[in-house]
Structures are given as structure tokens and as C-alpha cells.
Structure 1
Amino acid sequence: MSSLLFSLPELYQSYKSWVSKNPNNIGDWETSVKWISYFLAGRINNSHIVSELIYCLSNLLVMFNDRIIKKAYQIDSSASVEKIKLWLTVIEYSEVFCELSASKLWGNTGKWIIIVSIQIFKCISRMFLIFHYKEPIIQNPSIPVLNRKTISHQKRNISQSEFDSISFTLKRSGRVMRKIDSSPPIGLRDWKPLPQLGADNRNQLLETTISKRQLIAESIYIAKPIIHLTSMACFGTKTWKPWMISLALDITSMELYRSSTKKNIQALTPQQRLQISKRTMLLILYFLRSPMYEQYSKDRIHSFLIGLSKVPLASIICTPLAQYLPFWQNTYFYMWST
């Protein structure tokens, strides 16, 4: 037993070394764990909870490996911001499992207590990010999955201090020039210009500035889950009013973002535009949310999937999808999941 305890730190260090040296290969193992969660659904007792637990753990494993890779390649950000985003990401990955477990253990009351607690925590944390740390836009998950294909390229990039020691910037043109005494031998030169290390810093500066209109838009988006839950408590869980309020808040938030670009086409950074595009696409999910789903979408979607399952090979996907869609709709497609 003692030998096993002594070997655990060594195993952990070996795992960290392997992950940092093989950032692309580890993705195959992470994907395999996620597919296990899909395979277990509906095949054992309490399979939905077990499946969600495995899916949650697979996402946490990806996040854990990303943190190892970031430390290995010295891709760090502000420690305080990182801690808040870390807790938010853990909650975002595990909230469905927590809701299912609470419903199983404590019934409907316990489920709603967990839902409200999680959404209050998320709302306060996100508001703190945009008002205190000036985050330009809230992503979901808060810590996005690392693009590991660019890691090897980033490793070859020089650090800021090294960059400053071998180069200088022309005052009028802003062009980066290499210092004469730092030039490599002629035989080793590639004659390529220095990488524009300052470009990332300029993008980060742009992303830290957010107009009042954008701040209002993001605040509406962040507060939407709490407003929706409050409207459900006032008007009921199966009425149209919470659905319409949530949709109106989403549209208002996006319109405020779009109106800011009319005055200044560069008001939104590429990251912000990407997130707004994702939120626009997610409006399609309102067809799968109650009461729209029960009253209009359910029969039409089911008929479409059954009809499509008659096509050769399509039944492999469409038949299970038609069977599990009611459960997935009840579990995932709610309006406070932002």
C-alpha cells in the first residue's frame, strides 16, 4: 500500500509529461470516453445519470488535460480570472448531472433548489467577470477547449522578453525590426520577417474595451436564466409567458450587439462576432423548448425522423434519435441553460 502511495506522484508526473508531449494524440482517448456515455444511454438501470456522469467526467478530463498543456507551453492568463472561469466551467460541465442526481435523490423540490442555486452562482460570477475584469463576452464553456493543433506552432514562438531583446519598433510606421547584433549567421537565416508578437496584445486590448451598449446586451444575456426562472415561478412552468420572455431577452441582447456595429464596424472583436453567431444559431432550439415542443414541434419532428428512417442506413441514427428525443428535450433543452 505504501509503495502504491509513493508511486502515485510519479504516475501523475509521467501522465503530465505524456500529455504535454502528445497534445494531439490525447484527443483520441478523450473522444473514446465521450462515446462510452452515448453507448450506455438506455442500456442499464439509471443509465441516463451514469451516461451524464461519464460525459461530464470526459469534459472535465479535456479541461484538465488542457490545463496541463497550457502550463507546459506557458499559456497562462490572470490567476484571479482563471479561477472564476475554472469554477464556472466545472459547473457548466456538471450542472445537468447535478440536476438529474438531485431529482433522483430529493425529488422535484431538490431538483429546483439545485437549478436555482447553480444559476444564481453562474449569474453572479459572470457579472463579476464583465464588470470587474472587463471580459468582453461570456463564452460557454467559460474556458473554451484548447486548439491543440496550434500548440506546436506556439511553442516555436518566442516570449515577449526575448522578443523585446532582439527587436525594436519604428515609431512612425510601427514596423518591427530586428536588431543588428541579434541577427543569426547568414547560413542560418530564413529571411522571414519577425513574428508580429504585438498583434495578440492589440487584440487583447480590443477585447478588454466594451461599450455601454454591449455591456447592457451582455448583462441581459447573463441575467436571462434568472429572469426566466422567476417568470416560471410567477406564471407556471408550462405557460407561454416564460418562453416569450426568454426569447425576447435573447433577441434584445443580440440586437443591441448588432446596433453597436452600425455605428462602428470594428466595435466587435472576432471572438465577439463568433459568439453572437453561435447565439443566433441557438435560437433554433426554441422549437425544442416547452411549450413550443409539446404543442407544435413534437409531432412534426417525430414524423420527420420516422420518415427519414426509411432511407437506407439513416435508420441507424434516426430511430434512436426519435426514441430518446423526448427525454433529451426534457433534460437539455431548457431556457436557463446558458
Structure 2
Amino acid sequence: MGTARVWGEMGRWTIIVLIQLAKAILRLLLLLWYKAGIQTSPPIVPLNREQQQSLHSEGELSTYVGRRSSRVVRSLQNTPSLQSRHWGSPQQREETQSRRAEEMNQPPTPLGLQETIAESIYLTRPLLHLLSLGVWGQRSWKPWLLSAVLDISSLSLLSDLKDLNRRERAELRRRTILLLYYLLRSPFYDRYSEARILFLLRLLADYVPGLGFVTRPLMDYLPAWQKIYFYNWG
């Protein structure tokens, strides 16, 4: 947006192409050279700082084992603060944390030739879409159809892959759900979705008490959001 104000449309599209080109090259390098497998979003799991603080405080806790029941409970002298306290047993907490750590640290699933081609299609799709926009223009249906075909083809080729880890399965579900965004992308949005979405939001604002505080600002912001999202396709 800043580049568009300073250097105009040509500068804006130049920056978009350079960013997408850099992203595609780095992702293909991870896929083909480092065998990173299906690339998730975000690529690195965000650090849960509250969880880390809780684990740090729990490491200093002492526990008491009941003589008759053999039940493990906390010592009242070393009870953590209310913010970092949990109500499960220490063993359950440790098992849950170790299971999550094991799931997140699983190596990527090896990809065969078909799956590598499918992931390459997904990674290069933003560049192909930008190229098609330059050839056919922003109002043409061809870039929209090309991108949709590439997305669906990539998911279809990856659907045969078995034994995916948890993050990879979540990533494929995310990509499938994102296909709904094609309803909000031009030119489909301009010709079909816009009128129906605005009608539904206006209906909710007029007849459902309280929803107008949410739907009316959304109606005002939707055109700007759709325009920004349209050229941030990748």
C-alpha cells in the first residue's frame, strides 16, 4: 500500500512480484533441497510463553504421595501462583506436554514424486497467478480459474498421501477450508458474492438485536478488505 502511494501501480506490482518470487524460491529450496515435506503455516510453532512459565514453576514443585491411595498431590508449601496453576496431577501434565512436544517434533513425511509435484504447484501458484494477471488483466476470469485449478489439483494429488503427522494433516485441512475464499476473490466477488453478502449482513443488522454493532462496520470495511486481499493473493 505504501509503495502504491509513492511509486504508483507499477511500483506496487513490482514489489508484489519480488516478494512472491523470494517466497517461492525459498520454499522450493526447502522442499527440493532440504526435503522439508509439506510446508505448514506458520512454519514454526508459536512459543506459548504462559505454558513455558508454568512448566518452569512446576519444575520446582515438590509433591506428596499418599501412603494408602498412592495418589500424587502437590505440597501446599510450594503451590504456584493462581495464574500459573493447573488442576490436573503433575503426571498428567507432564504426559500431556511430552505428547505435544513429540507431535510437534515429528520429522516431515517423505514425499514421492507425485506429492513433490503437488507441493511445488501449491508453492508456485502465487507466481503463476500474478503472471496470468499480467497477461489477461485483473477483470478476467482466467487468473481466477487458473488459481482454483492449481489449488484443487495440489490438494487432489496430496490426498493419497498417508501417515501424515498432526501438523501436516492440519495444514491440508487449512488449505481445503481456504478454498472458500474464492467466493471473496474478484471477479467472482464482484459479480456474485458482493450483493448477496451485503444483503445478508444488512438483514442481520436490521432484524437481529445487537448484531448491527458488528455487521454495519463490517459492511463498510468489506470492500477495502476485499481489495487488499485480492492483490495479496499468495
How many angstroms apart in 1 are the aligned matches of 2:215 and 2:179? 23
SS at match of 1:290: coil
* Post-superposition offset of 1:257: 1.3
Matches within 5 A, 1:250-289: 250-261=151-162, 266=163, 268-289=164-185
**1:173-322 to 2 correspondences below 5 Å:** 204=105, 206-207=107-108, 209-261=110-162, 266=163, 268-310=164-206, 311-322=208-219
In the superposition, relative to structure 1, how do residues 212 and 298 fare at CA in structure 2: closer, same or farther (>3 Å)?
same
Question: Structure 1: any 5+ residue segments left out of the alignment?
Answer: 1-99, 159-185
CA distance in 2, matches of 1:202, 1:151: 17
Work out the percentage of aligned pairs sharing the same amino acid.
37
Pairwise CA distance, 1:250: 0.6
Q: Return the alpha-carbon distance in structure 1 between the equivalents of residues 215 and 23 of structure 2.
A: 35
Deviation at 1:199, TM superposition (A): 9.1
The 1:301–1:192 alpha-carbon spacing in structure 2 relative to 1, beyond 3 Å, is closer
1:332 aligns with 2:229: yes
SS at 1:274 equivalent? helix
Deviation for aligned residue 1:315: 0.5
C-alpha distance in 2, partners of 1:325/1:214? 36
What per-residue deviation string (whole Å, max 9, x for no partner) do you get for residues 289-321 of structure 1? 010010111111111111111121101110010
* Residues 38-79 of structure 1: CA deviation (Å, up to 9, x unaligned): xxxxxxxxxxxxxxxxxxxxxxxxxxxxxxxxxxxxxxxxxx
Structure 2 counterpart of 1:137, from 20, 38, 63: 38
| Length-normalised TM-score, structure 2 | 0.76
Structural RMSD (CA)? 2.9
What amino acid is the match of 2:186? S
Asked if structure 1 preserves the Cα contact closer than 8 Å seen for 2:104 and 2:167, the reply is no
CA 1:239–1:335: 2 relative to 1, 3 Å:
farther
Q: Which has the higher helix share?
A: 1
Give the equivalent residue in structure 1 for 2:79: none
Instruction: Rate the CA distance shift 1:204–1:134 in 2: closer, same or farther, 3 A.
Output: farther
Structure 2 residues not aligned, in runs of 5+: 60-64, 73-89
Residue identity matched to 2:27: R
CA deviation profile, 1:82-116 (whole Å, cap 9, x unmatched): xxxxxxxxxxxxxxxxxx00011111111000000
**SS state at 1:135 partner:** coil
**In structure 2, what is the Cα distance between the partners aligned to 1:301 and 1:284?**
14
Structure 2 CA distance for partners of 1:141 and 1:277, relative to 1, 3 Å: same
CA-to-aligned-CA distance 1:5-55 (integer Å, 9 cap, x gap): xxxxxxxxxxxxxxxxxxxxxxxxxxxxxxxxxxxxxxxxxxxxxxxxxxx
Q: Is the 8 A contact 2:28 2:123 kept in 1?
A: yes
Query: Structure 1: how far apart are the matches of 2:147 and 2:232?
Result: 7
TM-score, reference length from structure 1: 0.54
- Structure-1 residue corresponding to 2:75: none
Secondary structure of 1:300's aligned partner? helix
